Amino acid sequence: MKEIETKYEKIFFGDIPGIPDINVTISGCRFYPGGKFYDIADFLNKVIHRWYVPEVKIEGLLMTLRRDIPVCNMPLKQAHEAYYDNMMSSHVAQLSGSGKLFISLGNGNGPLVYVIDTKRHKAGIFPEDFDSEYMCYTGTGDFTPDNKYWLFIRWPLKDSVDILNGIKNEAACQIGRINLVNYENEMFYELDSPDFIHQITCSPDYRYLVFTTFRSFPNVPYPECSFEDDPDGYKKSHEAGIALEKMVTIDLEKKIHWRTEIPVPAPAHFEFDPVDPHVFYVSAHNFSWAGSYANVILEGPAALFKMRIKDGETVVEKKYSDGNFLRITQHMPFSYDGRTLIGVTNAPNYLDIIDADSMTLWRRVETYQAPSVDFTKTGNAPCPRHPDMCLNVNPSRDGRYIVLESHKYYRIYDLLEDRFLENTVPLYLPDKAGRVGHTRIACQ
């Protein structure tokens, strides 16, 4: 790895009254002018650990995008600079049991991975040739069940350029892993796949790998104006629809793979069941973008699918959705009181808790008061924005508490008492800083 400078800071929040000892450790991505920083919030010891790293600029990458992709072929017709900024934006920080923090970039995909040794306060970038051999990496990697490796998928940037220019449909993908002790890496599986691969995760029994793409581009691009300025144009784009996507399952024992179409657009993140190693839950967001990745357009209700891996196939076993199940931002299965539940945040103001066995709503909790989303005019709607919107869900190990993260604070829901705790924990963001991407519980 190529070493980079880092600065460490520790912030205690034990003086906030009414915050119980919650056994959960959460990572988070942040940004500020000129750099990035990454938080590890330890709610058992009531401390936030923070590491700052400088902003890495890859001028040659931006020049390549400008040279090789006409603006008319850019995703969402956005400028090359905006696409580059999106590639360099932090998406997920994942903490291993040994204290290694891996940070993936890009809402779509990024050109490198940050690695921070949180014990020694050292930081680096993988791969070392990130600024000369341009590759795209998954927006979310994951640790192997034995906690010895971090998994990723990568493919040449040129393949993504060719896909955008209509020259090919798939990228030549390599699945690799990084040793958490010495950072040596190896590629162990290859296949062709559409790009914009969002997550790769291994089944808890080490038998299967699963990954999903996250393209979510409308078949007819949205107008280059606001929703209010051209509702008929937005209706036309909505009615043209979004192409369905396929998840990939790899049998590591037989060294074969297969694809499974998800029946609702835009599957992205997925999580394995805490009990059954061959069951996972995938979120199908049912949204797209207008003009940029920040302008989320809700196409209708989202869905959460319960998937089962069988010998040579992965099938949809059950589905949860309803009219108020919109814009899933994160979901996490967990065990509580003898049952498996799934905590889900959805727009604009709900924490849903779903019974994983029946895939029915167990409890819906309002996080703050907000008007409902109106789909009656055009069949779609801009996603609401609010600083109190809770974007991430993090259950404690015993399942009693769920820690939510908004743009301003951590908020704690008590399942036993069915209430939010009165006090919140600030994110303690410096001036002009903000949060970005998804949280992640340690070792996931």
Confidence of residue 387 (pLDDT cuts 50, 70, 90): confident
pLDDT in tens, 164-194: 999 999 999 999 999 999 999 999 999 999 9
Strands (E), 157-242: 171-179, 185-193, 197-202, 208-213
- pLDDT for res 443: 77
pLDDT in tens, 411-442: 999 999 999 999 999 999 999 999 999 998 88
pLDDT in tens, 227-267: 899 999 999 999 999 999 999 999 999 999 999 999 999 99
Q: Per-residue pLDDT averaged across 93-109, rounded?
A: 94
The amino acid present at 28, given as its one-letter code, is G
pLDDT in tens, 134-152: 999 999 999 999 999 999 9
C-beta separation of 395 from 343 below 8 A: yes
Average predicted confidence (pLDDT) for the chain: 95
Q: Is the pLDDT of residue 198 over 90?
A: yes
pLDDT in tens, 204-229: 999 999 999 998 989 999 998 888 99
- pLDDT for res 189: 98
Percent of the chain at pLDDT above 90?
88
Q: What is the full DSSP assignment across 124-160?
A: EEESTTTTTS-EEE-SB-EE-TTSSEEEEEEEEHHHH
Write the CA distances from 406 to 105, 284, 367, 393, integer angstroms: 20, 21, 10, 10
pLDDT in tens, 268-315: 999 999 999 999 999 999 999 888 877 899 999 999 999 999 999 999
